[in-house]
Amino acid sequence: MCDQWEIITSEELGEIKEAMTESPAQGVALINAYLDKQKNTPLNIAITGESGSGKSSFINAFRGLEDSDEEAAPTGVVETTREVKGYPHPSHPNVTLWDLPGVGTTNFPAAKYLEMVGFEKFDFFIIISATRFKENDVKLALEIKRMGKKFYFLRSKIDSDLYSEERKQKSSFNRETTLKVIKEDCIDGLRAQGIEAPQVFLVSSFDLHLFDFHLLQETLERELPRHKRNAFLYAMPNVSMEIIKKKKDAYQAQIKYQAAISSAVAAVPIPGLSTAVDLLLVVHIVRQYVVGFGLDEKSLKRLADSSGVPYADLVSVMTSQLGATKITPDLIKKVLSTLAMEAALVAAEEASRFFLFIGIPAAMCLSGYTTYRILNFLLDLIADDAQKVFEKAVQKNTEV
């Protein structure tokens, strides 16, 4: 009961049962409201650093957008951020990345920076630099620490650095050695300025699946509160197989609570009600899976633009029929039509109501078990499709 974000409490199950008894429509609305709690968990990420560091490009890459997209944060070789501006994630609007003006600029002097940008509303800070971190970056980090919040250093434009070093060193160039030198140089510079055990991540906004972006995700997974952690995870682009697996694990952890909702509905003695509501419940949850794994039409089109892989090619590798389409009850029934056991369990649930004394408890158990099995099955299908799409999207970069 310590994490209300992911647990359907006994009180809530009682409310659902009562609402179903009075009005099935009211009960369904209440169920959807409980399921949407996770989508309403706000996460505010502050992106800051000196002008020209690549803040806006990182924001766009995290949100799966190109710099030229209409919803993208403006980028340029000069300071383009003149005010604090939030950019909600296009598929997860509860997650907002805030583009902060460069620290130490005329309108935002370092001494008053945190006060002027509204420090309190941010969950954590990402400080970006395209070179060694400067004095203003360090002052900002120390002040963030003093005020009790987390910060992380991102060394941007690593792809450009590698290209330049390869041209200079020619045959003696070693990619891993160069990356190690860049990171150690950043860490040593920060330590020399008073930062203890600095966390530095090397990133390229053009290729988030390369370098240290996955390490940033793993670090935040350890350090963020659970409800914030999952909000961050669901909004993350699929830049590695590991992230896809973590998303699947997070969704899977919710299924037992969603199955409990199904059991509560089955306790209402109205023939046919539980089966109908279970189908709507599954539809609602599967829609979350599809968006969370980036398999909805809008997300796939953004991925096609950013990866250079045609949209049709991305769609072609999916086998579940659940991606890039509207999730409806009829579609779910079609996908489940091959599962004879699931159909038998649904029939058994309805038949069990006609047995005195044990009828309702038996129906509740069968309903919860059926929903649990169905959601696990559909989650497996969607996660497999997400892996196939990821492999297709990065295949072009691997071949180059």
Residues 16-56 have pLDDT tens digits of 778 777 777 777 777 777 777 767 889 999 999 887 888 99
Cβ 50 vs Cβ 133: under 8 Å? no
What total of structural domains would you count in the chain? 2
Determine which of 253-262, 264-273, 373-382 has the lowest per-residue pLDDT on average.
264-273
Q: Are residues 105 and 194 in the same domain?
A: yes
* Predicted local distance difference test score (pLDDT) of residue 400: 45
* Sequence-distant (≥ 6) Cβ neighbours of residue 338 within 8 angstroms: none
| 195 is a domain residue | yes
Q: Are residues 205 and 346 in the same domain?
A: no
| 3 is a domain residue | no
Q: Which of 179, 204, 235 is the last residue of a domain?
A: 235
The better pLDDT of the pair 389, 26 is held by 389
Residues 131-141 have pLDDT tens digits of 889 888 898 89
The average pLDDT across 182-193 equals 94
Q: Are residues 224 and 243 in the same domain?
A: no
The average pLDDT across 340-369 equals 59
Question: 328-361: buried (b, 16+ CB within 10 Å) or exposed (e) per residue?
Answer: eeeebeebbeeeeebeebbeebbebbeeeeeebe
Distance CA 266, CA 272 (A): 9
Residues 56-107 have pLDDT tens digits of 999 999 998 888 888 888 876 555 556 889 999 999 999 999 998 876 666 6
- In the numeric block, which tokens belong to residue 318? 């999916």
Q: Are residues 170 and 255 in the same domain?
A: no
Q: Are residues 253 and 124 in the same domain?
A: no
Measured between alpha carbons, how far is residue 392 from residues 70, 303, 304 in Å? 26, 11, 10
Cβ 204 vs Cβ 156: under 8 Å? yes
| 2 is a domain residue | no
The better pLDDT of the pair 40, 272 is held by 40
Q: Are residues 221 and 285 in the same domain?
A: no
Q: Are residues 253 and 386 in the same domain?
A: yes
The residue segments making up the domain with residue 57 are 42-235
Q: Which of 235, 259, 292 is the last residue of a domain?
A: 235
Q: Which of 201, 235, 269 is the last residue of a domain?
A: 235
The CATH number of the domain where 229 resides is what?
A: 3.40.50.300
Confidence band for 391, pLDDT divided at 50, 70 and 90: very high
Q: Are residues 121 and 263 in the same domain?
A: no
Residues 197-217 have pLDDT tens digits of 999 999 998 888 889 998 998
Confidence band for 5, pLDDT divided at 50, 70 and 90: very low
Question: 21-39: buried (b, 16+ CB within 10 Å) or exposed (e) per residue?
Answer: eeebeebbebbeebbeebe
Question: Pairing mode, if any, of strands 43-49 and 124-129?
Answer: parallel
